[in-house]
Amino acid sequence: MAHLSKTRLAALTCAASVALAPVTAAQADSHKDQDSKDMNSVSAKATPPVAKKVPHTYTHHGITIEDPYDWLYDKSYPTVDDEDVLDYVKAENAYFEANMNPLEAQTEALFQEMKARIKEDDSSVPQRRGEFLYWTEYKEGDQYPRFYRKPVGAPADAKGEVILDQNEMAEGLEYFRLGAFAVSQNGRFMAYATDTNGSERYTARIKDLETGEILADEITEIRGGLTWVANDTALVYTPSTEEWRSLEVKLHTIGQPSDTDVTLYLEEDQSFSVGAGLTAQDDYLIIATGDNETSEVRFVSASDPTGELTLVRPREKGVEYSVDIREGEMFIWTNDDHVNFRLAKAALETPSEWETVIAGSDDFYLTGFSLFKDFFVTEGRLNGLDKVQIRQYASPQTVQSITFPEESYDAGLSNNPEYDQTKLRLAYESMITPDTVYDYDVSADTLETLKTQEIPSGYNRADYITRRVEIEARDGTMVPVSVVMHKDREKILAEQGIEGPGPLHLYAYGAYGYAIPPGFSTSRLSLVDRGFAYAIAHIRGGDDLGRKWYLEGKLMERTNTFNDFVDVGRGLIDMGLTAEGRVTASGGSAGGELMGAIVNQDPKQYGAVVAHVPFVDVLNTMLNEDLPLTPGEWQEWGNPITSKEAFAFILSYSPYDQVSAQEYPPMLVTAGLNDPRVTYWEPAKWVAKLRDTKTDDNVLLMKTNMGAGHGGKSGRWNSLFETAEEFSFLLWQMGLSVEVSEAQTGG
């Protein structure tokens, strides 16, 4: 509900039978010895694919670039049917399997260990919307959740009605993902959208929840949400263009052919994306359009969506805003006069005349707001820590802040669909505290714990410690880092015969103003319990420390992001938490670009690197305005087509272009053949060039999911197994093994 925040681009059981132990100190120091030698011998025997070179050059701004691996970009994309391309990708997959097969038992052991920490038959806390309570449940063995509901006031032990079973829908499919999901306000109809190949081109259907019938209505090739309007007789949606852009908002009336759907708004700027949603009281339809730095919003009565749209304020480059409406008054979140945003309000009759409600602040970063009947909520960060604040309409400067129990955490509003609420549903976690669901009683100022994530194989919070440290980057900027480790880490390492600092895994994203919170992970314990420290670097490019923190990591300041990550790793080494060559690192998408940049800059620091769907061919992608996301990305990276300065700067850091004849650490790279965000050829070209150029014999693996997209395999167990593969690779390269019991080898 509430205002439409800007969408960020931006992206993964039986423990008693698994005995897990690393190898000796000598093995750990060499990274490759004894058991590891057996694994590496397979790598030596297996022959890595060698991609052919086909002469290809291009010239911009008087600069000519050679790109002999351009042929890996199938020009018929999104169809990929070039046999040479497919043969190469399959050969890389075969090489991946040849190297990972000797780790099969280890990977399976890790998977079972991770799986044992997840409650298989789990459910969410029911939440009221209208006349029903809604929740999700997993049954034992389920890959996907089932959606349930029951009437408000039904007995507590009354069974709910299954309104959507994703497991049933996914049966027989290699890939399945549920996108938008919306129940009509009267509770009768449910609209849902599904993707069956990872391309993120969804098909929407409508179910009559009274009869169980799936209506004949079908809307194909959609993106974004589904919004019920016109007294639940019609749906608002955003179709995808052939180039996978969202430029249009359309209206579908139940029972009518989709080719008669009405266009409510059409965006002419190819760099913008549109979306739609309802206001707090469900009485207005908001249509918002924008790119990564500029917004424009219109609204219309939800009961008459084909009526004339009212423009709130014309777009102005660099000004972002979003709106919500309550009791005939508009509230606006905007950065028009302060980088950290302010909250304003306006009359519906004069929506462009904004009056400040909460002024922008150098200290407090306002990230959003939500309107309710008797109060409103502002969310933001103070010194990088999440704050949830309740304010009264009559006295918005009086702040009622919710107090959380730890010094470092991730917290915010969860699902609060009702306008008239006296309690707020909150989500909370920290590096050592599992996911916790609270209800906050606004009048009593009290938190009630409704659910804490259960870890069936056992978890003792007191066994772990978390720290938040600051490390100075090369330009003097202090970069915050969240670290978690076992309290007996030194003892664990000593028992393994490991002398000196142990391994440390470093993770970051660093783009689009997306902050990586210091949250909880059960999978992460498989590294931490073996003596790893695990660190999240809150580098520039995210907005962890405010909007300025994001701006200092984009466009012509993009390299701050890479430098921050490298310097954080070096700082953690200086602190004695790890040593050179004992740092492992991972990141995905734009975080994969980060991985490509840091191994070019400081390869000796890392013992192993995992780059998931990495955005590494930055220059070529930003030069190709026909690709799905490129026009909208120029505000993030720069436009090398029109700007020689942007061209030269992107060229100077683009990981693919900057591959050089040097030693690189062992690397695992992933891709998705149907990925519309980071196209498969980016990691493919990068790996091909690395193989041809690097001077070491370290293993370089690439795994392409042939039937999936940006997020890897679908389903909770399939996805978890891919995490087990990643961790198995990291442990292998750190010289650590997993002792596997007979139960797992079939003995």
- Of 571, 517, 543, 546, nearest to 408 by C-alpha is 517
- Residue 38 is predicted with a pLDDT of 39
Counting every residue written for the chain, the total comes to: 747
- 589 annotated active-site: yes
Mean pLDDT of 363-391: 96
- Residue 742 is predicted with a pLDDT of 52
Q: 715 pLDDT exceeds 60?
A: yes
Q: What is the pLDDT of residues 529-553, one digit of tens each?
A: 999 999 999 999 999 999 999 999 9
- How many angstroms separate the Cα of 272 from the Cα of each of 106, 296, 351, 479, 655? 46, 10, 22, 32, 27
Query: Among residues of the chain, what percentage have pLDDT more than 90?
Result: 85
DSSP string computed for 448-472: EEEEE---TT---GGGEEEEEEEEE
Q: What is the pLDDT of residues 578-606, one digit of tens each?
A: 999 999 999 999 999 999 999 999 999 99
- Of 517, 610, 514, 599, nearest to 554 by C-alpha is 514
pLDDT band at 9 (very low <50, low <70, confident <90, very high): very low
Q: Which helix (H) or strand (E) holds 672?
A: strand 667-672
Cβ count within 10 A of residue 52: 11
Q: 16 pLDDT exceeds 60?
A: no
Q: What is the pLDDT of residues 50-77, one digit of tens each?
A: 999 999 999 999 999 999 999 999 999 9
Tokens describing residue 120: 């298989």
In the chain, the amino acid numbered 186 is: N
Position of tokens 């699902």? 415
661: left (phi over 0), alpha (psi -120 to 50) or beta: beta
pLDDT band at 741 (very low <50, low <70, confident <90, very high): low
d(CA 5, CA 288): 9
Q: Kindly report which listed range (3-7, 12-16, 516-520, 620-624) carries the lowest average pLDDT score.
A: 12-16
- Residue 743 is predicted with a pLDDT of 46
DSSP string computed for 384-414: TEEEEEEE-SS-TTS-EEPP-SSSS-EEEE-
- Of 346, 355, 306, nearest to 326 by C-alpha is 346
- Of 708, 603, 580, 711, nearest to 655 by C-alpha is 603
Tokens describing residue 224: 């974004």
- Residue 746 is predicted with a pLDDT of 42
- Residue 467 is predicted with a pLDDT of 94
- Residue 466 is predicted with a pLDDT of 96
Q: 710 pLDDT exceeds 90?
A: no
Q: 2 pLDDT exceeds 50?
A: no
User: Nearest-5° angle of CA 237, CA 163, CA 423?
Assistant: 80
- Is 274 within 8 Å of 236 (Cβ atoms)? no
Q: 144 pLDDT exceeds 50?
A: yes
Mean pLDDT of 178-184: 94
Mean pLDDT of 609-624: 97
Q: Which is the catalytic residue, given 675, 714, 728, 737?
A: 675
In the chain, the amino acid numbered 699 is: V
- Alpha-helical runs (H) found in 479-576: 489-495, 525-528, 547-551, 559-574
Mean pLDDT of 499-516: 95
- Is 193 within 8 Å of 226 (Cβ atoms)? yes
Mean pLDDT of 290-315: 97
d(CA 669, CA 686): 9
pLDDT band at 32 (very low <50, low <70, confident <90, very high): very low
d(CA 527, CA 521): 11
For the chain, how far is it from start to end, CA to CA, in angstroms?
A: 54
d(CA 273, CA 290): 6
β-sheet bridge partners, residue 709: 712
- What is the rounded average pLDDT for all residues in the chain? 91
Domain boundaries, the chain: 22-116+458-745
Distance of CA 493 to the CA centre of its chain: 32
Strands 364-371 and 355-358: unpaired
Q: 388 pLDDT exceeds 50?
A: yes
pLDDT band at 7 (very low <50, low <70, confident <90, very high): very low
Q: Which is the catalytic residue, given 31, 505, 612, 710?
A: 710
Show Cβ contacts of residue 79 under 8 Å, excluding neighbours closer than 6 positions. none
d(CA 56, CA 96): 28
Q: What is the pLDDT of residues 675-704, one digit of tens each?
A: 888 999 999 999 999 999 999 999 999 999
Show Cβ contacts of residue 441 under 8 Å, excluding neighbours closer than 6 positions. 422, 423, 447, 448
Q: Kindly report which listed range (240-254, 278-292, 612-626, 707-721) carries the lowest average pLDDT score.
A: 707-721
Q: Which is the catalytic residue, given 36, 240, 271, 589?
A: 589
- Residue 405 is predicted with a pLDDT of 85
pLDDT band at 712 (very low <50, low <70, confident <90, very high): confident
Mean pLDDT of 395-408: 92
pLDDT band at 616 (very low <50, low <70, confident <90, very high): very high
pLDDT band at 43 (very low <50, low <70, confident <90, very high): very low
Tell the CATH topology of 22-116+458-745.
Rossmann fold (3.40.50)
Q: 213 pLDDT exceeds 80?
A: yes
Q: Kindly report which listed range (20-29, 342-351, 445-454, 492-501) carries the lowest average pLDDT score.
A: 20-29
- 710 annotated active-site: yes
- Is 613 within 8 Å of 588 (Cβ atoms)? yes
